[in-house]
């Protein structure tokens, strides 16, 4: 094949440059510019950006909302990880190990909420929790548990925990599929020999299944943590706007509020940096905690 060097480079540039250019403009530049903005006091409209060094970060440490927002983020992450992993593992084992005829039905149904919009999920669940027309209170009334009915999302105590169920509802299917993929790759004869050795189903689960699908478990946990730290604020924004009185405020919703409602763009950018740093630290720590020797039998 005869091709001049020049033509080859031209083709390479054709393939790579346009894409890289838009990627730099719309993804890379905004990240660095965000970091840069976090050192300024800027209302967005005025031509003057005042350089204030680390003042935004000092304010971050003094702001009483910030530690609460971080705690709320972690509360959601933790409850999501526990809820999703327990249910997804149970469902994954049930749908792969036990012969259930209608398994494909469950697989499809459980997965569906994963592709629904968070806005739709948020609004739908706002309805479900609605004290007057929602099905949760109506259901409690039917069961004779009137005293348990409450204005879920309007309650200071219950607003934050109420956000957990929709997130689990929305997320479970993907992780169930991931774990099912892992379980189906576990060689059948391992269970047979475990059975011969007298291991009951519970022991088989802990001694065979869990160690062998550890990579999938680890991936799932880390993925839940990343998506939750970077995305749970959308649900918050739709369902509660951080209220009542900040009890559901998370870092992302606070950033939106400070930047796009209070026009403190420099401070908002500093919150953005905080989100980035907190998620990176969390993921690195998790990689370390979840590290296990690779198991092969």
Partner 1 sequence: MRIGKVMSQISVRIPLVLWAIIVIYPLIWMFLGSFKSNAEIFASPWTLPETFELDNFISAWSDYNIGSSFMNSIFVTTLGTILCLVFGIPTSYAIERLRFKGSEVLFNTYLAAMMIPSVLGWIPLFFLLAHFNMLDNLWALSLVYAVSHIPFTIFIITSFMENVPKELEEAAAIDGMSPYGILFKIVTPMVKSGIITASILNAVAFWNEYFMALILLQSESKNTLGVAMDLLNQNAQYNSAWGALFAGLSIAVIPIIIIFAIFQRYIAKGMTEGAVKG
Residue 67 structure tokens: 């530690």
Buried b or exposed e, range 224-246, using 16+ CB within 10 angstroms: bbbbbbeebbbbbbbbbebbeeb
Determine if 89 is a binding residue for partner 1 (CB under 8 A): no
Instruction: Show the binding pattern over residues 237-276: x = contacts partner 1 (CB under 8 A), - = does not.
Output: xx-------------x--xx--xx----x--xx--xx-xx
Instruction: Name the segment binding partner 1 (CB under 8 A); options: 59-67, 86-94, 183-191, 285-293.
Output: 86-94
Among 20, 51, 71, 297, binds partner 1 (CB under 8 A): 20
Alpha-helical segments (H) within 188-264? 188-196, 201-204, 210-212, 214-239, 251-256
Closer to partner 1 by CB, 125 or 208: give it. 125
CB of 1 vs partner 1, minimal distance in Å: 5
- DSSP codes of every residue in 43-107: -SSSS--EE-TTHHHHHHHH-THHHHHHHHHHHHHHHHHHHHHHHHHHHHHHHHHS--TTHHHHH
Determine if 206 is a binding residue for partner 1 (CB under 8 A): no
Closer to partner 1 by CB, 128 or 194: give it. 128
Among 40, 72, 134, 257, binds partner 1 (CB under 8 A): 134
Determine if 91 is a binding residue for partner 1 (CB under 8 A): yes
Separation CA 34–CA 15 (nearest Å): 29
Give the orientation angle of helix 214-239 with respect to helix 118-129, to 10 degrees. Answer: 70
* 65 in Cβ contact with 242 (< 8 Å): no
Determine if 92 is a binding residue for partner 1 (CB under 8 A): no
Among 89, 177, 208, 236, binds partner 1 (CB under 8 A): 177
Among 50, 58, 78, 116, binds partner 1 (CB under 8 A): 116
CB of 11 vs partner 1, minimal distance in Å: 5
Residues β-bridged to residue 51? 40
CB of 252 vs partner 1, minimal distance in Å: 6
């Amino acid at each position: 094949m005869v091709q001049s060097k020049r033509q080859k480079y031209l083709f390479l540039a054709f393939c790579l440059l346009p894409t890289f250019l838009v990627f730099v403009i719309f993804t890379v530049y905004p990240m660095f510019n965000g970091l840069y903005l976090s050192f300024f006091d800027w209302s967005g409209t005025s031509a003057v950006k005042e350089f204030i060094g680390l003042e935004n970060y000092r304010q971050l440490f003094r702001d009483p909302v910030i530690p609460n927002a971080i705690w709320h983020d972690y509360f959601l992450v933790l409850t999501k990880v526990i809820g999703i992993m327990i249910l997804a593992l149970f469902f994954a084992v049930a749908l792969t190990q036990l012969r259930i005829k209608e398994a494909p039905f469950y697989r499809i149904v459980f997965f569906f909420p994963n592709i629904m919009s968070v806005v739709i999920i948020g609004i739908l669940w706002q309805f479900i929790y609605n004290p007057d027309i929602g099905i949760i209170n109506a259901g409690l009334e039917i069961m004779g548990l009137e005293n348990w009915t409450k204005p879920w999302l309007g309650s200071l105590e219950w607003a934050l925990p109420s956000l957990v169920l929709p997130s689990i509802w929305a997320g479970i299917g993907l992780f169930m599929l991931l774990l099912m993929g892992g379980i189906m790759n576990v060689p059948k004869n391992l269970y047979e020999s475990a059975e011969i050795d007298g291991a009951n189903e519970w022991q088989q689960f802990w001694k065979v299944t869990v160690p062998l699908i550890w990579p999938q478990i680890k991936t799932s946990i880390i993925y839940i943590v990343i998506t939750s730290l970077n995305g749970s604020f959308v649900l918050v924004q739709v369902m509660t706007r951080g209220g009542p009185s900040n009890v559901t405020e998370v870092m992302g919703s606070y950033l939106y509020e400070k930047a796009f409602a209070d026009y403190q763009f420099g401070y908002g950018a500093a919150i953005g940096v905080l989100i980035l740093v907190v998620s990176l630290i969390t993921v690195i720590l998790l990689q370390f905690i979840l590290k296990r020797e690779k198991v092969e039998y």
